[in-house]
Amino acid sequence: MLANKVFRSSAIFASARLIGRGLDILAALVIARFLTPADFGMVMIALATLMVLEAATELPIVDALIREKEVRPGDVDTGFTLSFLRGTIIASIMLALSVPISILYDDPRLVLLIALLGLAPFLTGLRSPMMVMFAREVNYVPTATIDLIARIASFATAIVIAWQTGSYFSLLVVSIMPPLVITSLTYLWAPYRPRLSLENWSRLLSFAGWMSISRALATMSQEGDRFLIGGVLGKAPLGFFSMGRSVATTASWAIGMPLVSVMYPSLVKIRENTARLQQSYLRGQSMVAAAIMPISVFLMLMAEPLVRLGLGEQWLEVVPVIQILAPASALATLAMPTQALLLALEKPRQLAKREMLAALVAIPAVVLGAMTFGLIGAVIGRALANLFHTALSMEIIVRVAGISWRRQFLFVWRSIAANGAMALFLFESLSWFRYSSIAGELAAIALAGIGGLAIYGVTHIVLWILSGRPAGAEEFIIERLSTLVPPRLARSSN
């Protein structure tokens, strides 16, 4: 059954991504203890250069192949060729930009950093295109397994380098090692003999074109502020901003994006049935919100003890960054599934329009905030821009899919209310922290997290029952979990 397949793939993919991104964050936290905020900011400038170039040349070949009714060998070869050319072009541009950017920011270390980072997109462009066959069948287990192996290898290597050298190059490993391992393993899971061909390039790019534009605009909106803050405020404030945003959003996106990735091929299969499509979208939206919102609330209220223990006193300026961006990230969950639905309905142009409007708001908001109120002003500008992006996404769903704001909130209000109860508990638990010993603080954080999660879960279920057990995340999860109970055990319990 499609629903069972989606649930299984979502659970495995999201779990693997969460563990993988958790290792990335842990690696960054450990490495940050060896670096100054200015060093961290310098590496973020190099990473932002890569992100902008990757977005500007984005070719969502996998998405284009998923929507095809039949994938032919010529399609696969064309997809590989386009990805290879893209990776080669990005690597070449990174090499060419390394010297000018180092001069612009007056830091010669950026030359080697930016040049080496060009290896990441080049390696990514060599991946086996046959992995798309798993995605077409809504089977993300191979992708999740490969990604997790790569993150573990990256984490171990980066920590060893940081421990032995204390160098900022250990952060480079976190970016280069995953594509190296992932590319190698894709050929074990999905064998493919590389063949260069542009036989079907026009058909693939006709769909990918608008996606490329939308992702380029999204990256300019989301990552361009690194350049702006670095230029206006300097590398140290950029380091605080980048670290705070990573902590506030990485875990959320690690869970949310796998869920959304699995939603896309499943929505494609039912796009001709409007009622079923709307119901599946709303159920997916409620699941994303239910899974991510409590993480954001926990990070918002536990920011100070987490930063003190994880990063140390020199990083305390990160605390307000997390406290401001985490709640905005929680509400952003309402916008996450928008892309999956618009792609399923073959309306990528709407995505490009959304990202263009978001960029027109985000860039001025961050710049004006930074120039007026410094780092906190830039963070507030980013948070307001995120809220605008969320509202815009919900309005697009109203116009394109006929799902009103009211229906969208009806599926997520219980998550919002349950998070309110969790927030009250976590706020009270702040009195437990005395910062007298590491073990004591770790225990306090763990107890606060377990208690908050229990309150969140119980409140969620109680509200669902009191509401008459409507369709939503609770119903879907309970249905799926019931399928895991052996029939004999289920009969005996009755």
Angstrom distances, CA of residue 449 to CA of 141, 255, 299, 424: 29, 18, 10, 13
Position 8 confidence tier, pLDDT thresholds 50, 70, 90: low
The answer to whether the CB of 417 falls within 8 A of the CB of 459 is yes
Q: What is the mean pLDDT of residues 397-420?
A: 93
Mean pLDDT of the chain: 84
**What is the Cα–Cα distance from 241 to 28, expressed in whole angstroms?**
14
Joined tokens for residue 209: 């074109």
Q: Residue type for 260, please?
A: V
* Assigned domain for 492 exists: no
- pLDDT value, residue 480: 67
- pLDDT value, residue 483: 63
Contacts of 100 (CB under 8 A, 6+ apart): none
201-217 tens-digit pLDDT: 777 776 666 777 777 78
Q: Residue type for 162, please?
A: A
Residue 481 has pLDDT above 80, yes or no: no
Residue 103 has pLDDT above 60, yes or no: yes
* Assigned domain for 387 exists: yes
Q: What is the mean pLDDT of residues 291-295?
A: 91
- pLDDT value, residue 416: 94
* Assigned domain for 493 exists: no
84-99 tens-digit pLDDT: 998 999 999 999 999 9
User: What's the structural domain count of the chain?
Assistant: 1
* Assigned domain for 97 exists: yes
364-398 tens-digit pLDDT: 999 999 999 999 999 999 999 999 999 999 999 99
Contacts of 182 (CB under 8 A, 6+ apart): 124, 127, 146, 147, 150
Domain assignment of residue 96, given as a range: 2-483
Residue 313 has pLDDT above 50, yes or no: yes
% of the chain with per-residue pLDDT over 70: 91
Residue 433 has pLDDT above 80, yes or no: no
* Assigned domain for 426 exists: yes
The answer to whether the CB of 94 falls within 8 A of the CB of 50 is yes
pTM of the predicted model, to two decimals?
A: 0.73
- pLDDT value, residue 453: 93
The answer to whether the CB of 156 falls within 8 A of the CB of 30 is no
DSSP symbols for 174-203: HHHHHHHHHHHHHHHHS--------TTHHH
Residue 32 has pLDDT above 80, yes or no: no
Q: What is the mean pLDDT of residues 261-277?
A: 83
Nearest to 38 by CA among 222, 225, 237: 237
Handedness of CA 214, 218, 220, 223 (dihedral sign): negative
* Assigned domain for 54 exists: yes
The answer to whether the CB of 174 falls within 8 A of the CB of 22 is no
483-494 tens-digit pLDDT: 655 555 445 544
Angstrom distances, CA of residue 221 to CA of 55, 56, 339: 11, 12, 16
Joined tokens for residue 323: 């406290």
* Assigned domain for 494 exists: no
Nearest to 93 by CA among 51, 44, 39, 42: 51
Which of 337-341, 412-416, 469-473 is the least confident region? 469-473
Position 5 confidence tier, pLDDT thresholds 50, 70, 90: low
Backbone angles phi, psi at 490, to 5 degrees: -65, -40
The answer to whether the CB of 88 falls within 8 A of the CB of 110 is no
Angstrom distances, CA of residue 388 to CA of 284, 295, 382, 384: 21, 21, 10, 6
- pLDDT value, residue 413: 94
The residue among 401 and 28 whose pLDDT is bigger is 401
**What is the Cα–Cα distance from 385 to 382, expressed in whole angstroms?**
5
* Assigned domain for 489 exists: no
Position 137 confidence tier, pLDDT thresholds 50, 70, 90: confident
Residue 423 has pLDDT above 90, yes or no: yes
- pLDDT value, residue 489: 47
The beta strands (E) that lie in 366-488 are given as: none
Q: What is the mean pLDDT of residues 182-194?
A: 92
In 10 A of CB 72, how many CB atoms?
A: 11
- pLDDT value, residue 49: 79
